[in-house]
Structures are given as structure tokens and as C-alpha cells.
Amino acid sequence: MISTLAKYPWWAVNHYTVKDRDVLFQTTEKMLRALANAVKYKQFNIVHERLLAEFQETSLKAPGFSEKQKTRLILAAKPSPTGVTISRIATDWPFETLVRNPNASDEMVEFYAYLFRKATMSPTMVSLAEHSAAEASNAATSLFGNIVIPWSSSKETMTFAEAASQEWAVVEALLRRLLCVP
């Protein structure tokens, strides 16, 4: 599985669907959890912590996995053999395909989260109905506010590129709303 994740053509976003990625993620999560339990309960002599750490590290580097999925991979091998901790940003990450740049600081991502929250929650930026709906949902506690992706079709059957394009359009629309650009 480590080789599969490392060699998967993540760059070929027009050739796999969101569902394909999700199946690969679910398999990875189950295998990681099983390996973590084997290490924890010393079920096999050949299974050791270094293998678990390599597997978790490789799975966390998979660029196709979302921030929330990566959070689940950290939890699957709890305690993390690599010492990775869960970012509070990751638990609220609103996107399925767009991921954070690994070089972006938490402060930079939190700044954009603040902007998205303002664009989706501020009474001066949204209609009264949108504001009330957001307040009634869990969006009121999300760092990113109430980001809703209006999927044009079932996102599971979309290519990864199509889904990312729809998410990016929402990001652009929110930033235009804040900057008052038509």
C-alpha cells in the first residue's frame, strides 16, 4: 500500500474520480488502523513501529487526500508514531479536493479562513436568510464559516479536476464578494 500511495498518479486529475480517491482513502485508513492495532497489541513479530510510521508518513503526503481525510489518518494510528499532531485548521477544512499548500503557515491559512468566515457569516455580506441558516448550522463554530459547494452533479462521479474547479470557483466568488468585485 505504501508503494501504491507513493506511485499513484495524483497529478493525473482528469483520469480519476473523487470516488476513486475515496476508495483508496478508505482502504488506506482501514489498513493503517489494522497495522496500528497489530503494533499496539504486538500481534506479529515482523510488524513494527517503523513500518507503521512509514505507512502513516506516506499516506499523509498523498496530495489527493483532503485535510479532513489526513486528520482521520492521524487518528487511525493514534498515538501517531511520527509525532504528527492534528491542526485545528484541518478539522474545519471545508474542501474535498483543494488542499493547503504544505509551505503555508497556520497564520496564513487562518487569515483566509477569517476572510471566508466573514464572506459567509457576516450579516453585511450575506442575506438575512443565509445568515440565519448559517447560524442554525454548525457553520457558526467553523473557522471557515459556512462554505457551501453547489455541486453541478454527483461529486463522486466527477473527475478530481472537475470537483477542484467547482471548489475553486466558490473560493473566487467568496473573495470577490469581500473585495466587492463583480
Q: Which residue has the higher pLDDT, 50 or 58?
A: 58
Residue ranges of alpha helices (H) inside the chain are 2-7, 18-40, 49-60, 67-76, 88-91, 106-121, 128-136, 160-179
- Has residue 156 been placed in a domain? yes
pLDDT at 50: 84
Structure confidence at residue 46 (pLDDT) = 66
On the CB side of 54, CA atoms within 13 Å amount to 9
Question: pLDDT per residue over 154-175, tens digit each?
Answer: 888 999 999 999 999 999 999 9
Contacts of 50 (CB under 8 A, 6+ apart): 81
- Domains in the chain, number: 2
Residue 142, pLDDT score: 83
> 14 or 100: whose pLDDT is higher?
14
For residue 38, tell me if it sits in a domain: yes
Mean pLDDT of 72-81: 82
Across 51-55, average pLDDT: 89
Q: What is the pLDDT of residues 114-158, one digit of tens each?
A: 999 888 877 665 555 555 555 555 555 788 988 888 888 788 899
Domain assignment of residue 151, yes or no:
yes
Task: Please check whether residue 32 lies inside any domain of the structure.
Answer: yes
Residue 112 domain boundaries: 106-179
* SS3 per residue for 11-28: CCCCCCEHHHHHHHHHHH
**150 domain residue, yes or no:** yes
Would you call the peptide bond into 81 cis, given omega within 30 degrees of 0 as the criterion?
no
| 114 & 54 share domain | no
Would you state the cell numbers that stand for residue 155, as one nine-digit string?
461529486
